[in-house]
Amino acid sequence: MKFFLLIFKNLRRNKLRTALTALAVGVLVFVVTMIWTVVYFLENFTKEKSGNLKAIVTGRYDIQGQMPLSYARDLSHGAASRPGDVVPAESMAWQFYLGTLDPQKRTRENMVILVGMDVHQLPTKVANTVAHKGIIDDLDPIDKELVDKLAETTHGCLLGPKRLKTLNKKVGDRFKVSGFQPAGIDLEFEVVGVLPAGRWDENGFMNARYLNDAVDKFCKEHPASKPTLDQRRIDMFWVEAGKKDEFPRLVEQINASPLFQSPPVKCETFASLVANYLDSWSGFIWFIEWVLVPGSMFSMVLLIANAISLNVRERAKEMAILKVIGFRPGHLLGLVLGEALLLGAGSGLVAGGLIYWIANAAVGGITVAGSEPFPVPWQAALWGAGVGGATALVGSILPAWTARSLQASEVFARVA
């Protein structure tokens, strides 16, 4: 305990140096932890969850992965054709509608991203009781009345609170969207309600029939576009198996089915879909993980080594006295390492905690390349402490060894 207090006192002695070193370590830990948070998020996103019963069906080759509406029926039965085949417990088709409120100024602020679907498949609640669980597990249940109202209002939509705020709209407002996916489909919407805050803050839902009617109308006016648009209606089809052992069979059934040949489809878990997509960014992620992070950590090691070296040099006389009064070389080594560790881990913990607070409370999550904002996990503070402490230890080894090897007689001779 006395030893610990001594470490504390030493750090307090040169407050300016301690503060500057802590700040230097803190900002670099900030960078490292921020990057690790992103990597952690991506890895977590692409990790297969045990007990997962949901799979996504998309086009097999084309990155857009769209399918014709005619696939919906067979997919909802899991392509079951023989007795004993697995039929999904739940299924739903997603059709994306992307557009802008201002075709002349296509900024992110003007963009609207809506998922067209049978809105009765949204998770609902009556009072506080879940009425329909549905497949979308990252969306809190919505009041059933609101979903019923959306189903009745063909041109209605539910939007996330942040998107509504960005668009400067409120419930009851109407707005016109110029579509760019599918291109040329312009639609008018009425905001029926607001989605619960969370993962769906920036997007929304609409009735698939409204989108399909508009596409059909467009195809009548542009018959040449019909064959292509008919082939490209469904963007994703979700299926959920009823039991765990049925899940692989369901996936295999759909992948092997001759019903989906033009275009061919693939059925996989969401984690696998995201991981396959992210593979293309592997080089960039590698650079960040193995060049940027080590570079920042190396800078930290240098800065700490410098600060601790300065400390040891300035306190040579004091350390010589400590040796004379009975401190062993190991004690001095421990003293210097302890100071560095406390400084590094302490400032790292603060920096990690700051990231947690800034990212979650102040900014509302981290966004990567236009992704939905995601929260920083509480572990960030621990990573900060770990990174700061580890680099501080590495950086202080040489100065600590110098302190350990200090010859009291030499120091006193120099002073004399």
Partner 1 sequence: MKYDLPPWFSAAAPPAVIAVLIGGLLLAGKVPLTYNLRNLRVRWKTTVLTALAFTVVVALLMAMHAFSMGIRRLSEESGQPANVICLSDGASDEMYSNLPLSETSDLARQPGVIRGAEGRALCSREVYIMVNQVMPAVEGARPKHRLVQIRGVEEPDLSARVHGLELTAGTWFSGAGVQERSPGSDGATNASPYALVEAVIGEGLARDIGSEAGKESLGVGDVLTIGPREWVIVGLMRGPQTTFGSEIWAKRQKVGEVFNKDNIYTSIVLRAESPAAAEELADRLSRDFKKSAVTAMTEPAYFAKMADANQQLLGSIYLVSGIMALGGIFGVMNTMFAAIRQRTTDIGVLRIMGFARWQVLLSFLLESLLIAALGGLAGGALGYLVNGVTTTSVVGTSGGAVKRVSFQMIVDGNTLAAAVLFTLVMGLLGGLLPALSAMRLKPLQALR
Q: Kindly report the CA angle at 103 between 224 and 94, in degrees rounded to 5? A: 60
Q: Which residues contact 320 (CB under 8 A, 6 or more apart)?
A: 406, 407, 408, 411, 412
* Locus of tokens 């963007």: 235
Is residue 275 involved in binding partner 1 (CB under 8 A)?
A: yes
Residue 169's CB is within 10 A of a number of other CB atoms, namely 17
Residue 258 binds partner 1 (CB under 8 A): no
Which of the residues 176 through 195 are near partner 1 (CB under 8 A)? 178-186
Residue 173: count other Cβ atoms within 10 Å of its Cβ.
13
* CB 272, min distance to partner 1, A: 8
Contact 95, 117 (CB under 8 A): yes
What length does the chain have? 416
User: Taking contact as CB under 8 A, which single stretch among the options 145-153, 159-167, 221-229, 375-383 is the one that binds partner 1?
Assistant: 221-229
Is residue 17 within the footprint of partner 1 (CB under 8 A)? yes
Listed in sequence order, the residues at least 6 apart from 388 whose beta carbon sits closer than 8 Å to its beta carbon are 25, 26, 29, 300, 344, 345, 346, 347, 348, 349, 351
188: left (phi over 0), alpha (psi -120 to 50) or beta: beta
CA distances from 381 to 43, 64, 162, 278, 369 (A): 19, 39, 27, 27, 24
Which one among 114, 300, 337, 387 touches partner 1, defined by CB under 8 A?
300
Which residues, 6+ apart, have CB-to-CB distance to 272 below 8 Å? Answer: 46, 48
The minimum distance between CB 194 and partner 1, in angstroms, equals 24
Identify which of residues 126 and 183 has a Cβ nearer to partner 1 in the complex.
Answer: 183
Is residue 262 part of the contact set for partner 1 (CB under 8 A)?
Answer: yes
Measure the CA–CA gap between 92 and 134, rounded to whole angstroms. 9
298 binds partner 1 (CB under 8 A): yes
Structure tokens at 220: 């009548």
**Is there binding between residue 355 and partner 1 (CB under 8 A)?**
no
Tokens, residue 305: 């080594």
CB of 140 to partner 1, least distance (A): 26
Residue nearer to partner 1 on the CB measure, 2 or 108: 108
Among residues 110, 212, 231, 255, which is the contact residue for partner 1, using CB under 8 A?
231
By CB under 8 A, is residue 106 in contact with partner 1?
yes
Please, which residue, 99 or 134, has the CB nearer to partner 1? Answer: 99
Q: Is 343 in the site for partner 1 (CB under 8 A)?
A: no
Q: Is 317 in the site for partner 1 (CB under 8 A)?
A: no
Is 378 a residue that touches partner 1 (CB under 8 A)? no
For the bound state, the minimum distance from the C-beta of residue 293 to partner 1, rounded and expressed in Å, comes to 10
Question: Which CB atom, from 146 or from 316, has the smaller least distance to partner 1?
Answer: 316
Residue 383's nearest CA partner among 341, 351, 342 is: 351
- Please confirm whether the linkage preceding 263 is cis (ω < 30° from 0): yes
Residues 383-402 that bind partner 1 (CB under 8 A): none
Where does this chain bind partner 1 (CB under 8 A)?
16-17, 20-21, 23-25, 27-28, 30-31, 59-64, 98-99, 103, 106, 178-186, 222, 224-225, 227-229, 231-232, 262-264, 272, 275-277, 279-284, 287, 291-292, 295-296, 298-300, 302-303, 305-307, 309-310, 314, 369-370
